[in-house]
Structure 1
Amino acid sequence: MADARRFRGPVDLHTHSSVSDGTETPAELVRAAAAAGLGTVALTDHDSTAGWAAAAAAGAEAGVTVIPGMELSTRVEFASVHMLGYLFDPTDEALVAETLRIREGRMRRAEDMVRRIAEDYEITWADVLAQATEGATVGRPHIADALVARGLAADRSAAFAGILHWRSGYFQPHYAPDPMTGIRLIRGAGGVPVLAHPATSSRGVIPEQRLRRLVDAGLFGLELDHRENRPEGVAELRGYAAKFGLQITGSSDYHGSGKPNRLGENTTDPAVVDLMIEEATGAAPFYA
């Protein structure tokens, strides 16, 4: 792969644009990263690579290296598990087919949830589509924005804490592969997989034996420096990371105005990014 030393820090490895559930276009996001003092930013939209080209072009203009990536949806029973993939081949047939299946499942889930919500609240599918850019992966954040626009919630956070909460009765799961399959798909496309924000649950962290299986499948690292991770879970996972030789990443999980998370509030050691680039065979960074 290309010389890893050509990227600059600070490095934020988890952001979302309007291609999925962020509020800024890929170009706007990269310009915001430059304004925030970042030298490198990863674009990791949900189950989509559609923003890569625009982000790369903006990075060249703004002097920001763009790490191409994606946040792949996976699931363990009813629990959602997000897998960050970096520097993979965006044309890999198996990965392309799986992400299409996930996006279609998200769309069906969103439509079904809106039908349920509309039985009790004044909201339509057209309201939701009005909150998404053309070609975006439509999901619960767009429903949340529609609820806000209708005056049914104060903001996205309130919508997720209320009407869109899994206990509300409106929640529906969507199709997603298991985490092991997600890792194998990313590795099969020449990419590098990192388990996203793995210490957010009040029910505890991933059991050691399950994590060992993910490591054996090719897991590269754990996103531990993230505002939503619980400190006690992070402490436990740092021990597992040392035991299994996993790398530790940090990032903002920026969504523009969709979340309070700010660009660069957590960053990743450039040495970890060096290792990531060295391991990847699917794609190279878009160097500024």
Structure 2
Amino acid sequence: MEISCKTELGISVHLLSYLHDPSHPGLVEEIDKARDARITRARRMVELLAEDYPVDWDMIARHTAPGATIGRPHIADALVTAGVVRTRTEAFAQVLTARSRYYVGHYAMDPVTAVKLVREAGGVPVFAHPVASARGRVVGEETFEQMIEAGLLGLEINHRDNPEEGREYLRAIAAEHDLIVTGSSDYHGTGKPNRLGENTTTVEMLQRILEAGTGTAPVGMPELS
């Protein structure tokens, strides 16, 4: 699971959770609260966009898989279909950016709280693309320290949006605190340039995730060697 969080300064933090108990009451409560807020936010964004572009809620829903929560990626795909932009990336950069008049904020839990809840649920919390400055502001050392103190177990270092100098910085933090190092394609469909398998996690680090996660068992996991 990927949890959207926000610091007191309004900086976005994405937290990955591996092998947590999906029925853990505290985690479920917070995720439901965030999901409801995202739906309300998405509807308002679509209302604003409809004032200037040929999109509506039904059109957005057609770009969303059954059971999925409508978010900006789905709105972006609808804008591509409507011919407003050429790609999802262009939609985020030009229309759905936080600086746009169409942007609407939403509730997101504090990353420290999220880390604690994931650990309580037996999960393995990993900070996703922590220094992806091209996406917006990134957190400073104090937030890293607070999340680690709360029980953060890993850093997603090998990711296309982490610049090389940032990866060196992250490797130093991981080494100092003996954190799990992961790599990810961060694939969210063909609307993004990310490709499956462009970044991976070593067998050693995957083994550490499996050993640390107690909330649920992996499904269809092959024997590691």
Give the TM-score range, shorter chain. Answer: over 0.9
Residue equivalent to 2:31: 99
Shift of 1:111: 0.6
Shift of 1:134: 2.1
The answer as to 2:6 corresponding to 1:75 is yes
* CA distance in 2: counterparts of 1:195 and 1:82, whole angstroms: 6
Assess if the C-alpha contact under 8 Å between 1:82 and 1:196 holds in 2. yes
The answer as to 2:193 corresponding to 1:256 is no
Residue equivalent to 1:157: 89
Aligned partner (choices 197, 220, 229) of residue 153 of structure 2: 220
Residue equivalent to 2:216: 283
Residue equivalent to 1:144: 76
CA-to-partner distance for each residue in 1:51-104, whole Å, 9 max, x for gaps?
A: xxxxxxxxxxxxxxxxxxx00111113322110000011111111111111111
Shift of 1:205: 4.8
Q: Structure 1 residues 131, 205: closer, same or farther in 2, change over 3 A?
A: closer
Residue equivalent to 2:200: 267
CA-to-partner distance for each residue in 1:196-231, whole Å, 9 max, x for gaps?
A: 011101577532232111111100111010011122
Assess if the C-alpha contact under 8 Å between 2:122 and 2:214 holds in 1. yes
Amino acid at match of 1:240: I
Amino acid at match of 1:211: F
Shift of 1:282: 0.5
Assess if the C-alpha contact under 8 Å between 2:182 and 2:200 holds in 1. yes
Assess if the C-alpha contact under 8 Å between 1:212 and 1:244 holds in 2. no
Shift of 1:164: 0.8
Q: Map 1:14-29 onto structure 2 (within 5 A).
A: none
Aligned partner (choices 245, 253, 259) of residue 178 of structure 2: 245
Residue equivalent to 2:144: 211
Assess if the C-alpha contact under 8 Å between 1:190 and 1:281 holds in 2. yes
Partner SS state of residue 82, structure 1: strand
* CA distance in 1: counterparts of 2:61 and 2:137, whole angstroms: 36
Assess if the C-alpha contact under 8 Å between 1:78 and 1:173 holds in 2. no
Amino acid at match of 1:120: D
Aligned partner (choices 87, 101, 114) of residue 169 of structure 1: 101
* CA distance in 2: counterparts of 1:207 and 1:122, whole angstroms: 40
Q: Structure 1 residues 116, 178: closer, same or farther in 2, change over 3 A?
A: same
Give the length in aligned residue pairs.
219
Q: What's the % identity of the aligned pairs?
A: 49
* CA distance in 2: counterparts of 1:177 and 1:210, whole angstroms: 14
Amino acid at match of 2:172: G
The answer as to 2:14 corresponding to 1:89 is no
Residue equivalent to 1:129: 61
Assess if the C-alpha contact under 8 Å between 1:223 and 1:248 holds in 2. yes
* CA distance in 1: counterparts of 2:80 and 2:10, whole angstroms: 27
Flag the structure with more relative contact order, 1 or 2, with Cα contacts below 8 A and sequence separation at least 6. 1
Please list every run of 5 or more consecutive structure 1 residues that lacks an aligned counterpart in the other structure.
1-69
Amino acid at match of 2:178: G
Shift of 1:144: 0.6
Partner SS state of residue 157, structure 2: strand
* CA distance in 1: counterparts of 2:180 and 2:78, whole angstroms: 38
Greater shift after overlay, 172-181 or 272-281? 272-281
The answer as to 2:121 corresponding to 1:189 is yes
Partner SS state of residue 135, structure 1: coil
